Amino acid sequence: MLTYMVRRVLYMIPLLLIVSLIAFSLIKLMPGDYLTVARMNPMLTAESLQEQIERFGLDKPFLVQYWYWLKNVVRGDFGTSFGTRMPVFKTLFFGNRLTWTILIAATTLILTWFLAIPIGVYSATHQYKPSDHVVTFFGFLGLSIPNFFFALVILWMLVVIFRVGEYGLGVGGLLDSRFFDQPFSWAKFCNYMWHLWPIWVVIGTAGMASLIRLMRGNLLDTLSLPYVQTARSKGLRESVVIYKHAVRNAINPLVTVFGLQLPGLVGGSIVTAIVLNIPTVGRAYWSALQQQDEPVIMGGLLFFSLFLLIGNVIADFLLAWVDPRIRYD
């Protein structure tokens, strides 16, 4: 197992190298560059433009640019953002972006899993009953509504229907402005909660809906297997049959899903973060993409790729843990 894990980690190095080369090529294939908008500035002379092109190294051939970038990365220098003039990772994580991203994603993930698994189990064990139809209906609804639209609908309802402004409550963001310079207090905590619930609902429902469907389907498959019939015929209690024997097996594919959700912790829900005004790493990355801030795009891509690979490794670990039959050589 240990050899396997070490091998997996070592494989990540050439993989990241290939990812970086593909990413760099894609960035260069995009029309325009960081200075495209500046080119349309009537005040900018041709000489000044050339000066800027040279300053940002945009006049060098593609492979030369990639080589410089790679050489610096090996030395631990991921470059400086064209826009903020700060180091790449400082630009991505500046403020409490990384903390908030992980905090929001982790709480949403926990909440989603804690609700989705029991609901999925309930839905499977009550197949085709009215309660199953209700759960299925909301499951499909959660899957179908685009997150950004759902977020806008919630904010609109709070402002226009419930008129929360009349009670001194704001919408979007993490906190009402009157608390910005206040020390931490119970009231401030409650205000955080007021702003966090729409985030949990919007991001949570989308993830939850798919998990419910997945859990329901897997459990239904498992419940039809002969060993479940055997367990029942041996006279085991139904709860023991379901929770001890069926659910444990049905949950295996979901563990893989859990591992794959890890990169989403730092990069997911960009559009929702924009609509709900949450400081996240994804939002900083989106801003870099819009401006073609190449060093930040490259740094962000590598960072997200790394998380994806780590997520896969963790999923393998978890799978071995929940299913003793799985062994890696």
Partner 1 sequence: MRKTLILVGLLAACSLAALGQGYDTMPADAHVIPIGVEGTVYEDMELGVRGGTLHIPNIEDPKAWNNHTAKETSTTWFTYRMHRGLMNLDHISGAVVPDFAKSYEISEDGLVITFHLREGINWSDGTPITADDVLFTFNDVITNEDVDCNARPGMILPDGTFPICEKVDDYTVTFTLSTIYRPILNQMTFSLMPKHKLAQYVHKLNPDVPAGTFNETWTLDMDLSELVGNGPWIVTDYQVNVSVTMERNPYYYGYDPAGTQLPYYDKIVSHIVANQDVSMLKFRNGEVDVYAMRPEDIPILLPEGPSKGFQVMVTDLAQYGTTWICPNLDIGLADGTDEEKRELYRNVEFREAIAHLLDKDTMVQNVLNGLGTAQWTGVSVPSPFYAGRDEYGGPTTENDAVWFEYDPALAASKLDALGVVDQDGDGWRDLPSGAPLTIEINANDNTIRIAYCLIIQDDLRAVGLNANFQVVDFNTLVNRLLGATGDIIQLGLTGGDEPNSGKNVYTSCGNLHAYRYSACEDPDEVDLRIDELMDLGANTFDLDEAFDYYKEYQILLAHQLGYIYLCQPTFLYTYYDYVGNAFMASPTSTPGGNNGLLTELCFDKRL
Site residues (vs partner 1, CB under 8 A): 30-33, 36-49, 51-52, 55, 80, 83-86, 90, 94-97, 152, 155-156, 158-160, 164-165, 170-177, 180-181, 183, 274-280, 283-284, 287, 292
State which residue, 151 or 231, has the beta carbon closest to partner 1. 151
Residue closer to partner 1 (CB basis): 128 or 186 = 186
DSSP 8-class letter at 142: H
Place of tokens 């080369």: 21
99 vs 127, which CB is nearer to partner 1? 99
What is the SS3 assignment for 87?
strand
Cβ-based nearer residue to partner 1, 222 or 287: 287
At residue 103, what is the residue type?
L
**Least CB distance to partner 1 at residue 217 (A):** 35
Rg (CA), the chain: 25
Q: Can you say whether the dihedral through the CA atoms of 223, 229, 234, 235 is positive or negative?
A: positive
Minimum Å gap between C-beta 232 and partner 1 is 53
Q: Residues 57, 68: contact at Cβ < 8 Å?
A: yes
Helix (H) or strand (E) holding 45: none
Structure tokens at 104: 């929001």
> What single-letter DSSP state applies at residue 225?
S
The helices-and-strands tally (H runs, E runs) of the chain is 16, 0
Q: Rank residues 293 and 316 by Cβ distance to partner 1 and give the closer one.
A: 293
Closest CB 188 distance from partner 1, rounded Å:
12
Cβ 119 to partner 1, closest distance in Å? 30
Whose structure tokens read 């631990």? 76
Residue closer to partner 1 by CB (options 87, 259) is 87
Least distance in angstroms from the C-beta of 60 to partner 1: 17
Report which of 327, 284, 311, 312 is spatially closest to residue 98, judged by C-alpha positions.
284
